[in-house]
Structure 1
Amino acid sequence: MTTFFGSSKIGAVSVAMCCGLLMTGGCSLGPDDLPSVRGGIGDGYTVGIEFVSVMNLPNGADVMMDGLRVGEVRAVTVLEDSVNVTVGLKEGSRVPADVHAVIRQNTLLGDTYIALDHDRIGADEQFLRPGGQVSADHTSSPPQLEDTMAVLAYFVNGGSIQRIQDAMGRINTVMPTIPDVRRLASVVAVDLRDLASDTGEIDRMLDGFDATAVALNEKSQTLATLFAPEAQHYWRRVAVNIVSYISQILPSVGSVYQGGLWLVPMLNSLADTGDLFRTIWDKAPADTAKLSDFLRTTVLPFAQRPSVNIRSIESARGDQIVADVENLLRMLGAVK
């Protein structure tokens, strides 16, 4: 009976010691010690990337380049005015030395990762070597989630969407109906087609004008004599000797003919006007083609489907966050 009691006591002590060892071992085990479900990257090599802020970037986060996982985050070290992230890259990964590192998050509640953006790789491109470093001026830190939510809340609840809808409604009220626009476009298209088919006649007329101008320029000395003082005296004598007889019957004819010099300023003005019309006529085909292209590619598509295309949204630091805004608006049900 005594022996049995002693054996039970020894067994209880052994169980207590095993539980203590398990609890001690469990306390020393952290999330970073668990193996990654995505698989390791092997030995590879490590480089450093300096960020101003890394938000909640965890150890083991993916490092993506050209849509592929090329590495993972090994360690995050806080410095005086920046954060240094030690990244492990796969063996054989060629990362350009001037790469731009960005911390991204595909969805609002998704995992953060480091994206390596770069331009087209040239033949003489330099690559990061083991132990290399990417400085802070080649990195972009993510905006604070609270700031993004505040901007989106102000955009959604501040009436911006309603104002856009009101503006589109006012534009629709002043725009002609779609059948009228289509009829106008068809008429303009027919006119432009006719104008395009008759460009040969236009060219022939312009060539005639050019030949006339050249001929007048060659006879400029002869024409100048027509307005010399001697020529004026001649025409005045003709008016006195010939037209004066007619002016006796129609007095106004003689007065207008003899005082015809007052027409010179008007003729000069008409010459300037003709020159202006010549310039407008020369540019008419190109301007008409631009007008047709504007109506066909801009006015008609906008009249059929009025919409607002938000091309980019930048944060205060100049980062593009249009993808995050689109995902958030889709989660909120504002867009489809």
Structure 2
Amino acid sequence: MKQQPKKTLRCAPRFPGAPATLTPAALALVLLAGGCGLPSLADVPLPGGAPSGPGYRVTAEFVDVLDLVERAAVKVDDVTVGSVEDISLDGWTAKVRLRLDRGVRLPANATAAVRQTSLLGEKFVAVSAPVTEAARGTLTDGATIPLVRTKRGAEVEEVLAALGLLLNGGGLAQLKTISQELGGALDGREAEAKDALRQLDAFVGGLDAQKADLVRAIDALDRLTGRLDKQKAVIGDAVDVLAPGITVLAEQREQLTAALNALGELGKVGSRVITASKDDTVASLRALQPILERLAEAGDALPKSLDFMLSYPFPPNVTGAIVGDFVNLSITADLDAATILSNLVAAAPRPVAPRGPAAPGSAGPSGGGGPSKAPPAKPALPGQLPPLCLPLDGILPPQWVPPKECELPEGCKLLKPGSPLPLGALVVPKDGLLPQGTVFPAGTKLAAGTILTVQCLLNPVTGAVEGIVGGVGDLLGGGG
């Protein structure tokens, strides 16, 4: 390593002819008189090798700067980049003005700390980028590092005091006792302890996996508590209103408890009775099944008969005609000739007109080869019924059309099975027998499914009492 030449301080004497050897006092006098000046403070290099060139200034705020002094070093990553220019006090906050080299680039959210070079070394200010957040901006001249981004290191005295507290009045003895007791408790139970730790790890892992749900639940609970807080007056009133009821319940607690116990015993007895009588109950229900089926088949006939029994031997609607000890009755006589004739034909067998031989090439009513034709009926004599046009030797075919001589009500038609069902029409049952109540004699057979229009049905007998007032002439006129 090349050594630097030593610099010596030489002063030219102003007094010519001065002796070469001088006493110390004379030398000092000569130096002052000869103009040999001492270096100024600005020319003295900074301690620690801090740069003395152009720079910028930053103020750092500290709660405590310990024994930091002016002209102390400012370091970035243990490299001296400036010095402390001034330390002042603002209330309870120490403000330290730092001078940094212009070439040092730091973020605007930089941090500062008072540190120590060694255990007994000097203090310095360490400036660095933040470690808990991302760096942003640039630290410029006149910027301030606030208290939230500054700190100081622990002093040796503080460390020794804490160590003395731990050793003298601390819990080392207790820690030893705890360690021994814990070892004795876990001795021989290592497997259970490991299993407990595994379960605890699984539990904590489950909580971590559900932390989003837990956060939502906490937020919902927070909203609920907020709403409850807004309605605390209403809740307080409700609690005040409930107080008398709760007092009564408290006074009747013994009775309520006894009632609940008795109800429990009743349940036990009921369960025992139902279990013992289960077979008999099922048998009784099965025995009732035919009776219930017959009642269901009877339909509304049973209630109607019961209604008739209350007014026997008169129909139920006669009660309005009873006046005192006699009954006012009236009869409505429908003397319409067509109605009387149809009732007589439907109610009794009608004489059949003689049938002549069939025309050549014709078939019977049930054979193929063409529609059958009834022989022309003889003209009815006065007082005789109209000729019967129904064939009595077989079932009427679905295509059967009454001949013109057959006197049927207007609109009475026989429709083949599957035809659209008119309103109020009658469908011939499966056995083909026509029931009573049609214009045809009872027992007449038709093809199953044949449809009779509503004009082929007789008006049902209702037994209604209409109470017509009039003479014999009105009755013979049809009651109209």
Do Structure 1 and Structure 2 share a fold, with TM-score over 0.5? no
Kindly indicate which of the two structures has a greater share of residues assigned to helix: 1
- Find the structure with the greater CA-based Rg: 2
TM class, shorter-length: 0.3 to 0.5
